[in-house]
């Protein structure tokens, strides 16, 4: 997931893209509010929409079919395991493992689809309407992304696709080793243990697995892998912002738009490109009566992920020095 200038928009055009992102999320929130189908507000739509609109030639934007269908397929996986198994080590590991396997099988770059699989298990959603709700949001985003990319190219708002971009996409889909996957799944298991010990379900909030998937699997090109110590504060603040606007404004489009705007401001404050952090701010809109425990849980989970990643990096570097 690169954030380089040659595949991003200029300053003013980026602001326009962010404004369109806010409008898109507000429309999705309005659909969810008007229909009562809260699962239409799939939180990772915040991450996906921001990235594909501000980076029209980015990896996610260049894969419109995968953008539309991968979250839907992992959502089906999540509903299946939620319906047949209670929340615990087995169900979480099977859900995350199956979602990751599907992404690798399809060679899909849409890592936020992992969150679509885990979210029903975390929230206890068992309705078969959840996958179609996710599909509605991703299909609309896919159409919007294609239109925006064509406008951006026609208006010369970004540079043409380069050979380097294609190389980066290949690297993103093909990590060098499989050690990262073992490290990621071990973290997921440990996070479930912390959930069991503390009762804080959102220590393992769904976008956290997406953050880890990119950090461990694509370290060399993952923007936030270079500054992991900022992640806990950034995710805590976006979660707190989402909770604040949920309390002040309810679950309507204005509140959802404000939450995304808050997340954008936080990421700019820390100078981080972490699209999954935007999803963190939308999770309160699909929870039952979120409390201050939510951002605290997010902070704890992200801190644990950061420490585990740094430990993994230290071990992996030592292993490479000794055996390569």
CA–CA separation, 272 and 302 (whole Å): 15
Classify residue 288 by burial, with Cβ atoms within 10 Å: 0-12, 13-18, 19+: exposed
* In the chain, domain spans: 5-323
Record the tokens describing residue 54, joined without a space.
């501000």
pLDDT at 9: 63
The conformation of residue 159, written as its DSSP 8-state character, comes to P
Distance CA 192, CA 214 (A): 20
Global confidence as pTM: 0.90
Tell me, what's the pLDDT at 3?
A: 42
What are 227-281's pLDDT values in tens digits? 999 999 999 999 999 999 999 999 899 999 999 999 999 999 999 989 999 999 9
Return the SS3 of 232: helix
**Distance between CA 283 and CA 298 in Å, rounded?**
11
Please tell me the distance from the alpha carbon of residue 46 to that of residue 116, in angstroms, as a whole number. 13
| 280-to-260, 262, 298, 313 alpha-carbon distances in Å | 9, 11, 8, 25
Q: Residues near 301 by Cβ (< 8 Å), separated by ≥ 6? A: 191, 194, 202, 203, 204, 205, 208
Q: On the CB side of 103, how many CA atoms lie within 13 Å of its CA?
A: 30
Contact 217, 183 (CB under 8 A): no
Q: Looking at residue 202, what is its pLDDT?
A: 97
> Collapsing DSSP states into helix, strand and coil, what is residue 172?
helix
> Quick one: three-class SS letters along 135-182?
HHHHHHHHHHHHHHHHHHHHCCCCCCCCHHHHHHHHHHHCCCCCHHHH
Query: Which stretches in the chain have pLDDT values below 50?
Result: 1-6, 162-172, 174, 176
pLDDT at 166: 44
10 Å CB burial of residue 97 (0-12, 13-18, 19+) is middle
CA distance 205 to 119: 8
- 3-state DSSP call for residue 174? coil
The pLDDT score that the predictor gives to residue 165 is 46
CA distance 85 to 78: 10
Residue 13's pLDDT is what? Answer: 83
Which letter does DSSP use for residue 289 in this model? S
Phi, then psi, of 178 in degrees rounded to 5: -100, 0
């Amino acid at each position: 997931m690169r954030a380089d200038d040659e595949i991003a928009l200029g300053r003013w055009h980026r602001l326009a893209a962010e404004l369109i992102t806010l409008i898109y999320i507000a429309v999705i929130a309005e659909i969810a509010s008007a229909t009562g189908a809260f699962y239409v507000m799939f939180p990772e739509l915040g991450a996906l929409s921001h990235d594909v609109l501000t980076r029209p030639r980015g990896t996610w934007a260049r894969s419109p079919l995968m953008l539309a269908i991968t979250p839907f397929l992992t959502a089906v996986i999540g509903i299946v395991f939620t319906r047949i198994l209670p929340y615990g080590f087995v169900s979480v590991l099977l859900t995350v493992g199956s979602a990751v396997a599907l992404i690798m099988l399809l060679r899909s770059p849409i890592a936020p689809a992992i969150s679509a699989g885990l979210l029903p298990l975390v929230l206890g959603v068992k309705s078969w309407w959840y996958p179609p709700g996710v599909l509605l949001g991703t299909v609309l985003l896919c159409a919007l992304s294609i239109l925006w990319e064509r406008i951006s190219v026609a208006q010369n708002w970004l540079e043409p696709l380069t050979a380097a971009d294609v190389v980066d996409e290949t690297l993103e889909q093909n990590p060098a080793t499989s050690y990262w996957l073992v490290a990621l799944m071990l973290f997921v298991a440990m996070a479930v243990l912390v959930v069991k010990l503390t009762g804080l379900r959102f220590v393992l909030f769904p976008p956290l697995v997406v953050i880890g998937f990119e950090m461990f699997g694509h370290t060399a090109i993952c923007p936030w892998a270079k500054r992991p110590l900022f992640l806990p504060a950034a995710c805590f603040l976006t979660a707190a912002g989402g909770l604040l606007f949920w309390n002040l404004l309810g679950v309507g489009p204005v509140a959802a738009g404000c939450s995304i705007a808050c997340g954008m401001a936080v990421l700019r404050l820390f100078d981080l490109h972490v699209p999954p952090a935007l999803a963190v701010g939308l999770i309160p809109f699909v929870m039952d009566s979120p409390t201050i425990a939510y951002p605290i849980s997010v902070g704890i989970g992200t801190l644990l992920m950061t420490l585990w990643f740094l430990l993994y990096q230290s071990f992996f570097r030592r292993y490479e020095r000794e055996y390569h």
